[in-house]
Amino acid sequence: MDLKAGAREGCARDRSPEADLGRSLADVVGESFVTSDPEDLGRYFDRGLPQGAKLFAVKPSENRQVQEILRIASRSGVAVHTATDRYARTAHVEGVGILVDFSRMKAIEKIDKRNLLAHVQRGVTFAQLQEALDGENLKIATPLAATSDSVLCNYVNRSPLKKATLYPEVHVYTMQVVLADGRLHRTGSHALNEEGADLREDGGPSLSRWYFGSDDIFGIVTRATIWLYPKAECRDALVFGFDSLPDLVRALRNLPRTELGWEYLGADKRFLSHLVGAEGRDLPNWAMIVGFDGREKLVAYQRERLAGLARAMGGHPVEGLRAPLRDLLDEVWYQASPLHTGFYGTSARVPEFDAVVQQHLQKAGLSPDAAGRCLLAIDRSRCLYVQYDFFCDGLPAAGFLGPLEKDLCGRGALFDRPQGELADFVLDRVPNLRAHIRTVKSVLDPQGILNPGRYVRRQDPCHAPPAGEVSVEGPVDIQESDVRSVEQLLREVVGKEWVSSNPADLSAYGRDFTIFSGERPNLVVLPATTEEVQKVMGIAYEHRMPVVPLTTGFNHGGLTIPRKGGILVDLKRMNRLVEIDEETLTATFEPGVRMRSLYFECNKVRTFAGLRLKPILPLTLASISLLSNYVSRGGPGSAVKYGGGPDLTVAMTWVLPNGEILRTGPSSVPEVGNLGLTWGPGPDMAGMFFNADGAFGICTQITVKLYPEMPSEKMIHTAVFQEDPAACEAVCNTIYDLAQQNLVEFLYKSHPGVGCVTIAGAVGGSPQDYLAMASRHPLAVIVTGFDEDETEIRAGLVREILERHQVLEVDPSLFGPMFAELITTDPTKMSVGVKGNFVGAYRGAFQWQAGYVRVEQVPEINEAYKKLVRKYWKTSDAKATIEASLTGTDIQGPLPYARVGTVEFDYWWDQGNPESVKRAAAMIRKTTEMMFSRGILPIRNMFGFGEMLLPRLEVYADILKKVRAAFDPANLMHPDVLPVTEDYV
């Protein structure tokens, strides 16, 4: 049936369900934008319309129309298909269905030049966006092998970007997703307020990461906020020829670890010929392309330094390719051939994988020259992305690519977005992954109408409670007899000495040093292995006993308080450092490994050029668990360069509420290893565990990224003595310039109270004694370099920015050697606890609240916070200033390029003074209300934030509630940590 002009009359007479569906769709978008003509539909598929398919292609122009289309589909029970690549997938397209074409949704809704973000609809093309950005002197990170013209689809589908050598993350923050029932899910911070920061992370667990790599099986992504980059002062490239693949791979593996350059790519003669249009005889067998992007002085240094290192590794300069390849680095590269494949693997295994490809070519009767090969170093070359374009006619894709990809996958190549039979092959190799995906889909798309058959099918099993007669109805009611029975069972699992119901033991677990009220557990158990944790979970579920996990015990805001009693699972015995992998720059360890120990062990390991390895540390006590900090979505001061905890997490092992194991990340696939990516195959299922505080299980092992520690570093201290808001604005503008010129390792704007408390703790006296010398908004900056020359260049460029914004550089040695030693670049000393917990010790309790915000909003927020301080915190003493209250606003590590900043409020109070406790409680409440009213999402869920926040998040809150019930129907995993259960009061 065709709803175009020639068929309207017949359509009007047709009263079949199909005709009714067509009319309903036409009522939404207009008759001109609906078709069921087979010839029109055939253009959406690379081999024509699948046999037996009766589709309506519909072209909405706005979200409202997409929402109504899905409501129609839901009522009619028909499938909805989307094309996330150039062509729609033919598998599972059958019967009556709707195919949504987004070519009319092509609005660039906003270009945020200050925060380097663009809000684009799904139909926006690369050419369209680049034209708009040219006028703003901005650009995007371009794909290595785009699968379509849609910017959004390539980014959400995790298409490898050429800038992934330094920035491997998915270049998307917020999204708008139309769910199967027609509701609009605004992800990240936009669930709270679209005027606040454009933050990826959600107000609770980071559920929105599900949509990355999901191919629209959970919901249809219609808009995204994507990362932009400034067009830098200098853009350049170097090209080096190599004789063999092993020689090229050795260079690609090692040189990116120096951080000299932005992009590192390799290509063979066949691919280069396609790329630059040159004859093969004029090209090297293999070429390494290194891109540079930044300030001219810095690029000149890096270019010269890198050239020497590349020559020492056997590379010979290819000057004739420099200019054309430099210009191509910021262009979109599309898949060079319809017969294309790509995968991730360690550099050590790339030659092995290439030999497999050559074997399959030979078997197909093809010359080795038929394959064009391109390689991309990912994140300091933790791994390589390797792609093949097969330039040959008449070779059936299914008959060649299918067996090749399965062979490679079986040997350890990671296909992160597998399709068709390969998806089944990959997902079946990861225990519980398919059930996990199916469970989430059952919540978001209970009818299974969105792209049915992709990744999961209706008949696939969902997550299920443990087998047996276990009631999940009614409230938890712990009886003394239950405690005794469970205690005996736990002793049989872990040993008598590792279980206790002694009130003296339990009291230590019943409170933390924050304002949150305490509650003791009924039992504490200390397992030593993942298997023991599984058994503990089984016992807890059988006896309906709540479970709360704890690592090293340093907690903020009641995150491990057992509100309903039950079993406190203390994980400190699980303290093995499992592996430090120099190849993939990762460390794998258990919950009880403390941050300081991890740093020292990693620092013993060296990579290329003698560079030591380091984990990225948060500014907190050195005795804390880095696992719990990352899983709780903590962020380091060096987030401006490396990102936050989720971006630094490669893989995790989770014991789910039913006792089963789910492993996330690349290493979840047998033979693959860690690779250094933050996602595994298919949808990114790891996000739901971040910031969930144990609501979905217990993490027993984590793999995190390590980075080369640059051998030269310099710390620059600053001060401003203007009045606010001008002083705060000057520092915020400085932060923008430092971050967006990519010059620094570390940024931290504090307030006078932090410095004064620290100095008083080290030197003596009262913190107020040092206020006279304190800057209003002290900004600490660390620059690092491959050698002293690079560090001095960076420091010089930093000083230019400071001068432009009238921010003064301060030399701490002017105040004596004690001050110079106290303020240091030593990463272990930058962690508060190593040199003495001065911050935590003053008045006995240190409290902070923090959230994500646009950096430009901080001056306004700073003024609003002062009003709260005057009313609820500052004493009535007329002589006392606000500064004497020792509180203020911090910016601890904006995210890369300051696209999103953080704002922190901290203060000290006396737990033994009832009036101090009352004031602290009031201050926390009022500050929280102020944050949420301005669209500031909290970094962590503390002090019952969720009671105030989640009702404002509407669709997200409903999804979270249903997903929580699906995975833990008995509500035993840290009950009430998230206020989303039916029995929450």
Q: What is the pLDDT of residue 832?
A: 41
Per-residue pLDDT tens over the stretch 417-440: 999 999 999 999 999 999 999 999
Q: What is the pLDDT of residue 428?
A: 94
Q: What is the pLDDT of residue 721?
A: 86
**For the ranges 341-350, 840-849, 950-959, which has the lowest average pLDDT?**
840-849
Q: Identify the band that residue 1 occupies on the pLDDT scale cut at 50, 70 and 90.
A: very low
Per-residue pLDDT tens over the stretch 770-780: 888 888 899 99
Residues 683 and 781 in one domain: no
Q: For residues 798 and 164, what is the distance between their CA atoms, to the nearest angstrom?
A: 25
Is the pLDDT at 186 greater than 90, yes or no?
yes
Residues 819 and 933 in one domain: yes
CB 756 within 8 A of CB 891: no
What is the share, in percent, of the chain residues with pLDDT greater than 70? 94
**Is 449 a member of any domain?**
no
**Is 895 a member of any domain?**
yes
Q: For residues 532 and 541, what is the distance between their CA atoms, to the nearest angstrom?
A: 14
Question: Which residues make beta-bridge pairs with 810?
Answer: 717
Q: For residues 738 and 271, what is the distance between their CA atoms, to the nearest angstrom?
A: 37
Q: What is the pLDDT of residue 754?
A: 85
Is the pLDDT at 395 greater than 80, yes or no?
no
C-alpha distances out from residue 239 to 270, 595, 897, Å? 16, 40, 27
**Is 960 a member of any domain?**
no
Q: Which of 59, 64, 107 is nearest to 82 (CA)?
A: 59
Domain boundary among 418, 451, 477: 418
Mean local confidence (pLDDT), 898-924: 90
Q: What is the pLDDT of residue 816?
A: 66
Per-residue pLDDT tens over the stretch 562-608: 888 999 999 999 999 999 999 999 999 999 999 989 999 999 999 99
CB 904 within 8 A of CB 848: yes
Q: What is the pLDDT of residue 834?
A: 38
CATH of the domain at 851: 3.40.462.10
**Is 444 a member of any domain?**
no
Residues 308 and 343 in one domain: yes
Is the pLDDT at 981 greater than 90, yes or no?
no
Q: Identify the band that residue 835 occupies on the pLDDT scale cut at 50, 70 and 90.
A: very low
Is the pLDDT at 502 greater than 80, yes or no?
yes
Is the pLDDT at 829 greater than 70, yes or no?
no
Residues 68 and 118 in one domain: no
Q: For residues 511 and 503, what is the distance between their CA atoms, to the nearest angstrom?
A: 13
Q: Identify the band that residue 622 occupies on the pLDDT scale cut at 50, 70 and 90.
A: confident
Domain boundary among 62, 82, 100: 100
Per-residue pLDDT tens over the stretch 221-249: 999 999 999 999 999 999 999 999 999 99
**Is 779 a member of any domain?**
yes
Mean local confidence (pLDDT), 462-482: 74
CATH of the domain at 613: 3.30.465.10
Average pLDDT, the chain: 91
**Is 478 a member of any domain?**
no
Q: What is the pLDDT of residue 823?
A: 59
CB 262 within 8 A of CB 165: yes
- Residue 372: phi and psi, rounded to 5, are -100, 130
Q: Identify the band that residue 833 occupies on the pLDDT scale cut at 50, 70 and 90.
A: very low
CATH of the domain at 331: 3.40.462.40
Is the pLDDT at 3 greater than 60, yes or no?
no
Domain boundary among 943, 961, 979: 943
Domain hosting 664: range is 577-709
Residues 890 and 778 in one domain: yes
Is the pLDDT at 510 greater than 70, yes or no?
yes
Q: What is the pLDDT of residue 217?
A: 97
Residues 241 and 332 in one domain: yes
Residues 694 and 716 in one domain: no
Q: How many domains does the chain have?
A: 5
What is the share, in percent, of the chain residues with pLDDT greater than 90? 75
Q: What is the pLDDT of residue 415?
A: 98
Q: Identify the band that residue 307 occupies on the pLDDT scale cut at 50, 70 and 90.
A: very high
Strands 661-664, 79-82: pairing kind: unpaired
CATH of the domain at 34: 3.30.43.10
Q: For residues 78 and 97, what is the distance between their CA atoms, to the nearest angstrom?
A: 5
Q: Helices 955-967 and 945-953, interaxial angle, to 10°?
A: 110
Mean local confidence (pLDDT), 712-730: 93
Q: What is the pLDDT of residue 560?
A: 87
Residues 221 and 251 in one domain: no
Is the pLDDT at 6 greater than 50, yes or no?
no
CB 908 within 8 A of CB 842: yes
Mean local confidence (pLDDT), 809-827: 69
The distance from CA 159 to its chain's CA centroid, rounded to whole angstroms, is 15
Instruction: Note every long-range contact of 96-99, with CB atoms under 8 Å and residues 24 or more positions apart, other chains counting.
Output: 96/17, 96/18, 96/21, 96/54, 96/55, 97/53, 97/54, 97/55, 97/56, 98/21, 98/25, 98/55, 98/56, 98/57, 98/58, 98/69, 98/72, 98/73, 99/41, 99/44, 99/55, 99/56, 99/57, 99/58
> What is the pTM (predicted TM-score) of this model?
0.95
Residues 372 and 271 in one domain: yes
Q: For residues 912 and 892, what is the distance between their CA atoms, to the nearest angstrom?
A: 30
Q: Which of 870, 983, 971 is nearest to 926 (CA)?
A: 870
Mean local confidence (pLDDT), 641-664: 96
- Tokens 């902070």 — which residue? 848
Q: What is the pLDDT of residue 762?
A: 77
Q: For residues 536 and 433, what is the distance between their CA atoms, to the nearest angstrom?
A: 22
Mean local confidence (pLDDT), 37-44: 94
**Is 562 a member of any domain?**
no
Q: Identify the band that residue 394 occupies on the pLDDT scale cut at 50, 70 and 90.
A: low
Following DSSP, what letter does each residue of 157-200 receive, concatenated? TT--BGGGGT--S-SEEEEEEE-TTS-EEE-GGGGT-TTS---S
- Tokens 């709780």 — which residue? 632
Q: Identify the band that residue 618 occupies on the pLDDT scale cut at 50, 70 and 90.
A: confident
How many DSSP H helices and E strands does the chain contain? 31, 36
Residues 888 and 867 in one domain: yes
Q: For residues 813 and 673, what is the distance between their CA atoms, to the nearest angstrom?
A: 47
Is the pLDDT at 933 greater than 50, yes or no?
yes
Residues 156 and 24 in one domain: no
**Is 498 a member of any domain?**
no
Residues 624 and 732 in one domain: no
Q: What is the pLDDT of residue 776?
A: 85
Is the pLDDT at 9 greater than 70, yes or no?
no
C-alpha distances out from residue 254 to 167, 382, 650, 785, Å? 17, 10, 20, 17
Mean local confidence (pLDDT), 523-533: 98
Strands 845-853, 937-938: pairing kind: antiparallel
Q: For residues 322 and 344, what is the distance between their CA atoms, to the nearest angstrom?
A: 27
Q: What is the pLDDT of residue 813?
A: 74
